[in-house]
Structure 1
């Protein structure tokens, strides 16, 4: 067992302190709940960074904390080159969006109060604004009657109660996502996989838009059924391998009968494909993401659905890698990814609602990740993994932009918008950085992800002289044009053209929103210029996963400069240490 408890603390502190956040919110108000939740997640992120820095510096390749868990094996938390980018992006998003949530959720909760449905906006100085600022206005004016004062106090407390519940569910949701990507045991993975569903269901049902309860039930039904299908595959893996620990599965994957292997792969791919919202099992996503409160949309889309890609990497490609299950079915994943890219992009181009454009865009971006994972090359898989990072940052910025526009204009319809660049310059600039990230334009991180992904796909097509993969590579490049089309069309309709008269007095949102957007914009630019922050550990780990499989899987060629002549020479790829099957450090 590891001597340190960094990962255990980082995972469970948000869950254990979620009831405290609820109590603080009810008693001390919105500001206190916001900053307390932010502080919890910031501390947890710092705890996560401690072993992450060791991995990045090369001091260790894997950091594991393991605890005996009875008949299920060991309850472990593992940080390595594969889980590191997922874990960091999840907690960075959760931490920053906790601050973004404050003005947005105060506005959203106040809108839902019956006495404030009419004539209220995000800049109100009425009772809701007082709730957001943690001071009540009762007794502040001699013209307010005692009955009016009572209404103000009741409204103030209702807002506090709702925000307190929101942050407690938010913290539990954060814990579930992190635990899933750190798990070292099949049953543990499934428990966390379901734990992140429960709070997200309530967040949509309590704080969403439209027919939110029906949409939350649809979201729950689809993703839970997918999780049950996944569970069947996990149980079969554990039964034939003689245990549920990842190390046990990896060591004994050859014991899985050949006739069972296709069924297990099918269960994994379908169960995780539902979470990814891949084409044909995507039905729940446009509704859930469009109607969820915007801070939660900015977590569901960038963080949660991409965990399905992590599951494919860990459970299918790594644990079953020695059985040939990856090479046998990778082409079909490649085709599924291409269909998802094109479908999501085409549907996004037809939408008028900003959040629905971004929801269908998320489907398309998950297609890029699947496309990379099915590329059957180390470069393609590395690029697909890096796409989780780039999509997380870019899509978070764009969903936050949508929330800012909803706050300031009261509408999500692009036909009612236009010319907002002059009124909301900070939002426009930051949104453009997010848009360029999704399109894949340098110097954003999106360029690096797409460049590596398509390079890997082309490498496989050229190595195998495969006309089908070559055709899919060409169609994938065309799909990037579709992505550019819907993103730029959305941006033009929102920020350029003639501004409607009723929006003449619109201005940028407050600092809680613009500063948090700026944090993600800065990150995507930094990673675009210096991608090794995430690329180096991913590349090392993926190389380690497929070490010895060079006959089947093309590996990247490294070009180095000769010390004597200064000429560039081709060298063999560096030896990557085996990433799996080792204990903690």
Structure 2
């Protein structure tokens, strides 16, 4: 429920859209805590479940459905905060898929997804709040042409979305790579697990398809003809943009050197 995994996700869109944007930015980073709790509980309290093929495959299939459903619903949204809510749901699907991979590699990928999601959503929800204040709307159709008006915000905004899409060399890329590589490794080790391999390949295709909501949003908001609201808005002062730019920089640094996080995760395990 805490991770908003399908079909226990219905609370998430309302919670995100009805909360004040600063609270939502923090709340989005905390959504993945359910994943961390699942890792700690399963690996320390119920290690026998990790060897249960049926249980782990059930989690993997739920994760796949969550990835697809969250991405599909994100594509259908016109309000930026609602789109980001369903995007978080899709990201939690990746995290659960890593937990269900039955491999250390997939588990490390899930941790990287958790960190990348926290930084990326902090950027995007801060941008949503600043745009709502400056332009007076968070509807995507009202925010076109932002890149020509607010360049620094647009750069951070793009980095946040590209990381969610798994674009190299950002941190989100390594998270998705390790998750899928770990699941494939589990499917091919000892004896061929055709079901797990099939589910993983479908998840990889789903990741490519659901990346469309990121490209669609980047295109509609950053590029194209400037809307009247964007044209009349004033660029935000650098002080307000500093947290967004710092988060974007960390996505790049950890993407170039993901071993900083993987070694830390191994040390804390």
Range class of TM-score, shorter chain: over 0.9
Partner of 1:319 in structure 2? 45
Q: Are positions 1:485 and 2:212 aligned together?
A: yes
- Give the C-alpha shift of residue 506 in structure 1: 2.0
Given that 2:169 and 2:255 are in contact with CA atoms closer than 8 Å, whether structure 1 keeps it comes out as: yes
Aligned length: 266
Please give the alpha-carbon distance, in whole angstroms, between the structure 2 residues aligned to 1:320 and 1:503. 53
Spell out structure 1 runs of 4+ moving beyond 6 A: none
Counterpart in the other structure of 1:454: 180
For the 8 Å contact 2:136–2:229, the answer to whether it is kept is no
In the TM superposition, what whole-angstrom CA distance separates every residue of 1:243-286 from its partner, at most 9, and x where no partner exists? Answer: xxxxxxxxxxxxxxxxxxxxxxxxxxxxxxx1111111110000
- Cα distance in structure 2, aligned partners of 1:537 and 1:417: 39
Give unpaired runs (5+ residues) of structure 1: 1-273, 543-585
Aligned pair 1:433/2:159, yes or no? yes
Rounded Cα–Cα distance in structure 2 between residues aligned with 1:360 and 1:453: 20
**Aligned partners of 2:143 and 2:229 also within 8 Å:** no
TM-score by length of 2: 0.95
1:299-448 correspondence to structure 2 within 5 Å = 299-302=26-29, 304-321=30-47, 324-328=48-52, 329-448=55-174
Where does 1:75-474 land on structure 2 (aligned, <5 Å)? 274-302=1-29, 304-321=30-47, 324-328=48-52, 329-463=55-189, 464-474=191-201
Matching of residue 528 in structure 1 with residue 262 in structure 2: no
Give, in whole Å, the separation in 2 of the partners of 1:355 and 1:539. 34
In the alignment, is the contact (CA less than 8 A) between 1:420 and 1:496 conserved in 2?
A: yes
Conserved? CA contact 2:142–2:230, under 8 Å? no
Structure 2: where are the runs of 5+ without partners?
none
Answer with 1 or 2: which has the greater Rg: 1
Q: Any idea what the Cα deviations from partners look like across 1:279-315, whole Å, max 9, x if unmatched?
A: 111100001112211111111112x211111111111
Say what the alpha-carbon RMSD is for the aligned residues: 1.3
Higher helix proportion: 2
Distance in 1, Cα, partners of 2:100 & 2:216: 30
Q: CA deviation at 1:353?
A: 0.3
Shift of 1:540: 4.9
Q: 1:358 to 1:502 in 2, by over 3 A?
A: closer
Higher relative contact order (CA 8 A, sep 6+): 2
